[in-house]
Amino acid sequence: MNRKTLFAALACALLVFSMLGCGTSNNLQSITLTAKTLPVSGGLYNLAGWGGTLQMVATGNYSSSKTHDLSNVVTYTVTPDGTDASTPPVALLAPPQTVQFNVTGLLTAVDPTACTWVNLGTPVKPSWALSGSYKVVATFQGIQSQPVFVAVASAITQGQTQCGPS
């Protein structure tokens, strides 16, 4: 067997093995966004108290079935939706007002404070309804997470003993 034939055979074998890749690939398929606290309900979290924080966690789900924490590399988008429960109700302010967030996904309640909860019950037996929230989405390599919603309970209006469920 001459050198050219041997080299061609080795090159073909190497190509076949590199294409097989042991049957795995490692492509980002999706991003799951959660927070390091229990949700109030489903994908709804509560940012409670002036100066309160909520740490978002972005988990990359790969085609190899592995996961990786992407919290520090994703781009976070925070969008207000709805109203503050003040009288009269006013539209929620866009960040960095009311809610600030940093590149690691830490959300912080700041001035001006807000309450996106409305008590439909009584002071003794509250029944909380949502008047608005902030929609948070994480994006990396063109892939967006599912939206997560964050209610804000950083203000207490006159006559209330609390703002939102505790």
Question: What is residue 5's three-state secondary structure?
Answer: helix
On the question of pLDDT at 138 being above 80, the answer is: yes
The answer to whether residues 82 and 22 touch, using CB atoms and an 8 Å cutoff, is no
Supply the CATH number for residue 31's domain. 2.60.40
Q: Where are the alpha helices (DSSP H) in the chain?
A: 3-20
More confident residue, 24 or 51: 51
Whole-angstrom distance, CA of residue 121 vs CA of residue 101:
32
Residue 13 in any domain: the answer is: no
pLDDT digit string, tens, across residues 101-121: 999 999 999 999 899 999 899
pTM beyond 0.85, yes or no = no
The total domain count for the chain is: 1
Q: Structural domain of residue 133, as residue ranges?
A: 25-153
Residue 163 in any domain: the answer is: no
The average pLDDT across 95-106 equals 93
pLDDT digit string, tens, across residues 70-91: 999 999 999 999 998 877 888 9
The answer to whether residues 135 and 81 touch, using CB atoms and an 8 Å cutoff, is yes
More confident residue, 150 or 11: 150
pLDDT digit string, tens, across residues 2-28: 666 555 555 545 544 444 445 556 899
Residue 1 in any domain: the answer is: no
Whole-angstrom distance, CA of residue 74 vs CA of residue 146:
13
